[in-house]
């Protein structure tokens, strides 16, 4: 909690604010002590945030994880190495590189504390050509040694590797004091797999048109959270905003002339999502008259 706390009475939004502590260091919204007879609606303990380098900040939390407390520095020249060449992995490496390393390092950047330095993440994927479908293997394992000599990501498919790369990106932290990237909780051993095969989000562009750039941003957010399905409700009774080869006049029922999706638009969204391990499930609803 904050050192200058406040609280609103839960019984009425129009109630006045209260700024009082009881003798035990608890914030309360009445003047009575927590051990006294006077009732109190809500108590909040006043604490001061503390720094704990061993805290795990991962979302979603992996199934199994063990870690130490050794801090290692990540090299400014850090790179990803795939044992099996794959254009999908190469594109994923570029995305994660930009996601992690978004600060400009000083030209004379060096390891001030002489910590062990991590230079490479080796990525081993058993089969890089598995199609994306419901139930595909999305498991992975990730190991980072405390001496910085090795970091290895292992997965059966590129989709598991995508999740492992997202986990790796969350483990690397920027230190503004040292102007370095660091991983403070090595050695790390993680084994992870999704609990549910379908982890999705629904968007309704039939009733609320969304631009392609917005849909791409939503897909990015799904990949950050290791979700794997975009349920795209694209047509309903309210509008028909998508191109039709059989009935080319249908998309005249879009909300406006510009609020339409072409064949190429839909294909680009599907491919954009596939490269991030997200399936696009298109829903066409119709109403009989």
141-184 tens-digit pLDDT: 999 999 999 999 999 999 999 999 999 999 999 999 888 999 99
Buried b (16+ CB within 10 A) or exposed e, 217-254: ebbbebbeebbbbbebbbbbeebbbbbeeeeeeebeeb
Q: What is the pLDDT of residue 13?
A: 37
31 or 40, higher pLDDT: 40
> Does residue 6 carry a pLDDT above 50?
no
**Residues written for the chain:** 289
Overall average pLDDT of the 256-263 stretch: 96
Q: What band does 115 get if pLDDT is binned at 50, 70 and 90?
A: confident
pLDDT digits (tens, 9 = 90+) for 198-257: 999 999 999 999 999 999 999 999 999 999 999 999 999 899 999 999 999 999 999 999
Q: Would you say 193 and 203 are in contact if contact means Cβ atoms under 8 Å apart?
A: no
- Report which of 119, 126, 120 is spatially closest to residue 140, judged by C-alpha positions: 126
- Per the model's pLDDT, the better-predicted residue between 285 and 183 turns out to be 183
Give the model's pLDDT for residue 31. 47
pLDDT at 5 over 90: no
pLDDT score of 221:
97
Instruction: State residue 39's pLDDT score.
Output: 55
Strands 43-45 and 140-144, sheet pairing: unpaired
Please say if the pLDDT value at position 2 is more than 80: no
Average pLDDT over residues 136-140: 98
Task: Identify the helix (H) or strand (E) that includes residue 268.
Answer: helix 263-274
Task: Give φ, ψ of 112 to 5 degrees.
Answer: -60, -45
According to the model, what pLDDT value does residue 110 have? 59
Average pLDDT over the chain, rounded to whole?
A: 84
Mean pLDDT for 122-143 is 97
pTM score, whole prediction: 0.79
If DSSP codes are grouped into helix, strand and coil, which group holds residue 289?
coil
65 — phi, psi (to 5°)?
-150, 135
CA 252 to chain centre: 37
Q: How far is it, in rounded angstroms, from Cα 154 to Cα 12? A: 54
Peptide bond into 85 cis (omega under 30): no
Neighbours of 273 (CB within 10 A): 24
Residue 18: per-residue pLDDT: 45
Q: Do residues 2 and 49 lie in contact, with contact meaning Cβ atoms separated by under 8 Å?
A: no
CB 230 within 8 A of CB 216: no
* Structural domains of the chain ordered from first start: 1-49 (no CATH), 64-192 (3.30.379.10), 200-284 (3.30.750)
**In sequence order, what are the beta bridge partners of 183?**
72
Percent of the chain topping pLDDT 70: 77
Under a CB-based contact definition with an 8 Å cutoff, are residues 44 and 26 in contact?
A: yes
Read off the pLDDT of each residue in 255-275 and give the average, rounded to a whole number: 97
The predicted structure's pLDDT at residue 66: 95
- Does 27 score more than 60 pLDDT? no
């Amino acid at each position: 909690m904050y050192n200058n706390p406040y609280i609103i009475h839960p019984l009425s939004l129009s109630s006045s604010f209260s700024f009082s502590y009881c003798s035990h260091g608890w914030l309360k919204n009445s003047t009575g002590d927590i051990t006294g007879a006077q009732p109190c609606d809500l108590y909040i303990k006043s604490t001061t945030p503390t720094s704990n380098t061993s805290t795990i900040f991962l979302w979603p939390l992996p199934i199994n994880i063990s870690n130490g407390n050794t801090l290692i520095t990540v090299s400014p020249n850090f790179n990803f190495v795939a044992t099996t060449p794959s254009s999908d992995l190469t594109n994923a490496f570029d995305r994660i590189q930009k996601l992690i390393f978004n600060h400009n390092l000083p030209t004379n950047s060096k390891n001030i504390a002489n910590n062990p330095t991590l230079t490479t993440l080796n990525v081993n994927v058993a089969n890089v050509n598995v199609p994306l479908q419901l139930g595909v293997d999305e498991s992975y394992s990730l190991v980072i040694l405390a001496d910085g000599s090795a970091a290895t990501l292992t997965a059966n498919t590129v989709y598991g590797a995508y999740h492992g790369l997202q986990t790796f990106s969350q483990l690397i932290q920027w230190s503004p004091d040292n102007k370095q990237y660091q991983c403070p909780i090595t050695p790390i051993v993680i084994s992870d797999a999704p609990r549910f095969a379908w982890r999705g989000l629904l968007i309704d562009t039939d009733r609320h048109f969304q631009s392609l750039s917005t849909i791409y941003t939503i897909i990015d957010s799904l990949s950050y959270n290791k979700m794997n399905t975009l349920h795209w409700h694209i047509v309903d009774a309210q509008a028909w905003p998508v191109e039709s080869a059989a009935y080319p006049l249908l998309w005249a029922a879009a909300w406006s002339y510009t609020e339409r999706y072409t064949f190429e638009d839909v294909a680009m969204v599907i491919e954009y999502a596939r490269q991030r391990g997200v399936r696009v499930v298109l829903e066409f609803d119709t109403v009989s008259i």
